[in-house]
Structures are given as structure tokens and as C-alpha cells.
Copies of this chain bind each other. A is one copy, B any other.
Amino acid sequence: MSNYTQIIGIASGILTSSSLVPQLVKIIKEKKAEGISLGMFVVLLIGLGGWVWYGVEKKDIPIIATNCFSFVTNVLILIFSLKYKKKEANK
């Protein structure tokens, strides 16, 4: 694999990963999680875990790095969503 391909993978990984961050910031800032489907997040987490596994099998660093980062960001989104959903339910 050339360095050039590696750079495309890393750049794409940074873009798709960073697109998750505003969602997390928005939930923490507004302290509410409406519009977020929890079922969707569970499916997404299983899928991201699978991609990390796939990356390990293929020894593909951009795939592993991107999906690990996305996995952690989505776990944080899930935790904050559940926290604010619970608070709303208690009102």
C-alpha cells in the first residue's frame, strides 16, 4: 500500500470522525437528547465494533483508528442521551 492511499484513508477518517463531534457537543450544551434514536445508536456501535475487527484482520490502520474514535464518540453520545432522557422522564 502506498503512502498516498494511507493519506486518503487518514484524511477521510478525520472528516467522518469529526462530523460526529458537533452532535456530542450539542447534546451536552443543550442538555437534551431529542431527535436521537437510541436503537439506531446500538446498531451503529455493533457495526463500528465490527469495522475495528475488520481493520485488525486486514491490518488497516486508517480503518482501525477511525472506527475506534467513532466508537468512543458514539458511546459518549449514548451515555449523555440516556442521562438526559432519564431526567426528562423524571420531570
Contact = CB atoms under 8 A, between A and B. Distances in A.
A64 interface: no
A77 interface: no
Interface residues of A, number: 40
A17 B14 CA distance: 18
Given A53-B8, A54-B8, A47 B35 contact: no
Given A5-B57, A53-B8, A37 B26 contact: yes
Interface string A22-34: 1100100000001
24 contacts: A4-B57, A5-B54, A5-B57, A5-B58, A8-B50, A8-B53, A8-B54, A9-B50, A11-B50, A12-B49, A12-B50, A12-B54, A15-B44, A15-B50, A16-B47, A17-B47, A18-B43, A19-B41, A19-B43, A19-B44, A22-B39, A26-B35, A34-B35, A63-B63
